[in-house]
Amino acid sequence: MRFLLRSSAVAVLLSLSGAALAEKPDQVTIGYQKANVLALVKSRGTLDESFKKQGIAVRWVEFPAGPQMLEGLNVGSIDLAATGDAPPVFAQAARADLVYLAHSPASPKSEAIVVAQDSPIHSVADLKGKRVGLNKGSDVNYLLVAALEKAGLSYKDIKPVYLPPADARAAFQRGAIDVWVIWDPFLSEVETRAGARQISDATGLVPHYSFYLASRKFADTYPDTALSVVSELAAVSQWANQNRDEAAGLLSKSTGLDPAIWRKAVSRTEYGAQRMTPEIFAQQQALADTFTRIGLIPVKVDVRSATWTQDQAAGK
């Protein structure tokens, strides 16, 4: 059963950690992308205000995508982050000592495989031999693999072109790639401004979650602070789901994209912060095993090694 980590639930959990909860950092460094829920948390300012009362400063560090953000988490330049499905698995393969704190509800309609409006490509089966742009190690990497295999193709049947979103958008516009696999708000932008046509979103292929992560050192040392961030994520998520136009407006200011683009993106995103469950870990393990099988990850990854609980922190 899924449920939000509301403030009362967090308070109960925090009471289990004993004396370890007395420790508070002087500063929390949070990695974010201008287009994700942490951008809403930053824009609303409620977390900064709450932590300021506790003598904790909040430092926000912007990243272009999840893989780069988790590189920052791995080297210790940030303490907490939010990414899609795939980046944590790639980070674990690179021996990043991270932990999963929580996850969002599934939002499979917020990522898709798109082509130009006049493209002769009309199905995933048509991707054989085509140049497919994507951000390597991102959540859309898993969507692409799943879509290809469902269509009877393999990753070797396409020509992957690994580009960050901004570069991929330019390549798509000039026809340097035939296909783009991308997430919102880039998806909504290219549909709205360039008339891009979807050949498949993630529905029925991959769930597409966001995951809220921390370095293990930070989570173990400051468990109450880590869970306070998750509690705020849950509160802001609830607000965003109930006030989608306002959320779109804040994200428009954060990214510079037109509010209409963000209204489209927000309409197909379900925000939330839910506890990790065995089912979610199993789904992440399936993702990791898929990437190992096709050679994108050279080692076996044990996703559950990134499990974190209050009891572990208390007994450190």
Residue 66: per-residue pLDDT: 84
* Same domain assignment for residues 51 and 80: yes
Per-residue confidence band for 311, with pLDDT thresholds at 50, 70 and 90: low
Residue 65: per-residue pLDDT: 80
* Same domain assignment for residues 148 and 62: no
Report whether pLDDT(10) > 80. no
Sign of CA dihedral 161, 255, 208, 91: positive
* Same domain assignment for residues 233 and 99: yes
Residue 299 lies in a domain: yes
The token pair at 259 is: 């509010």
The token pair at 245 is: 């136009």
Q: What is the mean pLDDT of the chain?
A: 90
Last residue of a domain, one of 142, 172, 201: 201
Per-residue confidence band for 1, with pLDDT thresholds at 50, 70 and 90: very low
* Same domain assignment for residues 293 and 233: yes
Alpha helix (H) residue ranges in the chain: 7-14, 37-44, 46-53, 66-75, 86-93, 139-150, 165-174, 186-194, 216-221, 223-242, 244-255, 259-267, 278-293, 310-314
Residue 13: per-residue pLDDT: 41
Residue 217 lies in a domain: yes
Q: What's 57's domain CATH number?
A: 3.40.190.10
Radius of gyration of the chain (CA): 19
Per the model's pLDDT, the better-predicted residue between 216 and 9 turns out to be 216
Report whether pLDDT(207) > 90. yes
Residue 315: per-residue pLDDT: 45
Averaged pLDDT for residues 300-306: 96
Do 304 and 281 touch, CB atoms closer than 8 A? yes
* Same domain assignment for residues 44 and 67: yes
Residue-wise pLDDT tens digits, 27-66: 999 999 988 899 999 999 999 999 999 999 999 999 888 8
Residue 9: per-residue pLDDT: 41
* Same domain assignment for residues 53 and 73: yes
Whole-number Å distance between alpha carbons of 61 and 26: 16
Structural domain including 182 reads 109-201
Whole-number Å distance between alpha carbons of 54 and 65: 30
Residue 1 lies in a domain: no
Give the pairing of strands 179-183 and 131-134: parallel
Residue 182: per-residue pLDDT: 96
Averaged pLDDT for residues 173-183: 97
Residue 21: per-residue pLDDT: 46
* Same domain assignment for residues 218 and 233: yes
Report whether pLDDT(239) > 80. yes
Residue 2 lies in a domain: no
Last residue of a domain, one of 185, 201, 217: 201
Pick from 107, 134, 140: which is nearest to 210 by CA?
107
Report whether pLDDT(129) > 90. yes
* Same domain assignment for residues 103 and 243: yes
Residue 15: per-residue pLDDT: 41
* Same domain assignment for residues 132 and 269: no
Per-residue confidence band for 67, with pLDDT thresholds at 50, 70 and 90: confident
Report whether pLDDT(4) > 90. no
* Same domain assignment for residues 152 and 287: no
Residue 183 lies in a domain: yes
Residue 310: per-residue pLDDT: 60
Report whether pLDDT(113) > 90. yes
Rama region for 129: left / alpha / beta (φ>0; ψ in -120 to 50; rest): left
Averaged pLDDT for residues 109-126: 97
Backbone dihedral angles phi then psi of residue 161, each to the nearest 5 degrees: -120, 105
* Same domain assignment for residues 64 and 90: yes
Q: Omega before 185 cis (within 30°)? A: yes
Averaged pLDDT for residues 67-77: 91
* Same domain assignment for residues 82 and 163: no
CB-count burial class (<10 Å; 0-12, 13-18, 19+) for 124: buried
Residue 95: per-residue pLDDT: 93
Last residue of a domain, one of 170, 201, 232: 201
Pick from 178, 181, 137, 164: which is nearest to 291 by CA?
137
Give the pairing of strands 211-215 and 80-83: antiparallel
CB-count burial class (<10 Å; 0-12, 13-18, 19+) for 278: exposed
Per-residue confidence band for 246, with pLDDT thresholds at 50, 70 and 90: very high
The token pair at 121 is: 């490509």
Domain count, the chain: 2
